[in-house]
């Protein structure tokens, strides 16, 4: 407990999924947490949960597809808490990638490059690439004003191995990976920047797919651990990177994926008779 005492953290996309787990654990570890997202009601529920557990949190509405919204959020966190020490770039437009927040792949707009429209490409990349840029552009000066801090990006194994039908998302997370070392280098020595490369996690968006026994078995077949990830798994890694325990770690891509990035299942082939 209290590994993040006296730190102020802003977690983008923290009204659900991995972001909510990160914000919740940060609160448990003593940080003052800015919960952000587009849905006010969901954000207030997360804040209430953190406060109920004894933590400190406030909700700030942040839409990563809107530059002014990002800029205002960075100003607001400092207004509320006096500083910013930890910036977690987690938000992604999952409704366009996995389908309307329902996990129904038929509802998604992301696709392979020859099939996705320019409009749909921008729906995914505007908040994911431009939004990341704006978070860094307006967040880094706040970290600098506090004497430095930690930037934690949440990427995906889709950025390093092919995932059919997710080319806009793949490009977005690839850009995040590429910026990691650049930011770490350009803003050293007081600001650290690392990226957690996330694998399969049992979030709301994936839940409908996991309910299908065939898909559930397929997902479990590509991880080397006994289960797919729980959102707390990524939260533990983020907490380490937010804490002073990771002071000597920067510019790194760190897999939190159950080994999926190192393993390619090979189908069994019946021997010829």
Active site residue ranges: 169
CA torsion sign, 103 to 211 to 256 to 112? negative
Q: What contacts 91, CB < 8 A, 6 or more positions away?
A: 12, 13, 19, 36, 37, 62, 64, 127, 131
The residues, any chain, with a CB within 8 Å of residue 31's CB and separated by 6 or more, are 4, 5, 7, 8, 9, 55, 56, 86, 242
Is residue 94 within 8 Å of residue 101, measured between CB atoms?
A: yes
Q: Is the peptide bond before 189 cis (omega within 30 degrees of 0)?
A: yes
**What token pair was written down for 117?**
């429209």
Assess contact for 89 and 97: CB atoms under 8 A.
Answer: no
């Amino acid at each position: 407990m209290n590994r993040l005492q006296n730190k102020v953290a802003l977690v983008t996309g923290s009204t659900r999924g991995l972001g909510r787990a990160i914000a919740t654990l940060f609160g448990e570890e003593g940080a003052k947490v800015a919960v952000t997202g587009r849905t006010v009601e969901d954000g207030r529920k997360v804040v209430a949960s953190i406060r109920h557990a004894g933590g400190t949190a406030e909700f700030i509405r942040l839409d990563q597809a809107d530059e002014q919204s990002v800029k205002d959020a960075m100003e607001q966190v400092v207004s509320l808490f006096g500083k910013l020490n930890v910036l977690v770039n987690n938000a992604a437009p999952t409704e366009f990638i996995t389908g309307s927040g329902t996990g129904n792949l038929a509802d998604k707009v992301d696709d392979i490059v020859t099939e996705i429209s320019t409009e749909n490409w921008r729906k995914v990349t505007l908040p994911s690439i431009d939004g990341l840029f704006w978070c860094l552009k307006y967040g880094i000066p706040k970290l600098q004003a506090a004497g430095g801090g930690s930037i934690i990006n949440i990427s995906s194994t889709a950025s390093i191995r092919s995932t059919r039908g997710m080319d806009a998302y793949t490009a977005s997370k690839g850009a995040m990976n590429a910026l990691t070392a650049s930011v770490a280098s350009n803003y050293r020595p007081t600001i650290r920047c690392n990226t957690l490369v996330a694998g399969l996690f049992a979030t709301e968006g994936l839940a409908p797919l996991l309910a299908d026994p065939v898909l559930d078995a397929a997902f479990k077949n590509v991880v080397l651990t006994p289960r797919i990830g729980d959102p707390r798994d990524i939260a533990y890694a983020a907490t380490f990177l937010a804490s002073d325990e990771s002071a000597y770690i920067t510019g790194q891509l760190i897999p939190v994926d159950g080994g999926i990035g190192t393993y390619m299942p090979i189908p069994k082939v019946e021997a010829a008779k």
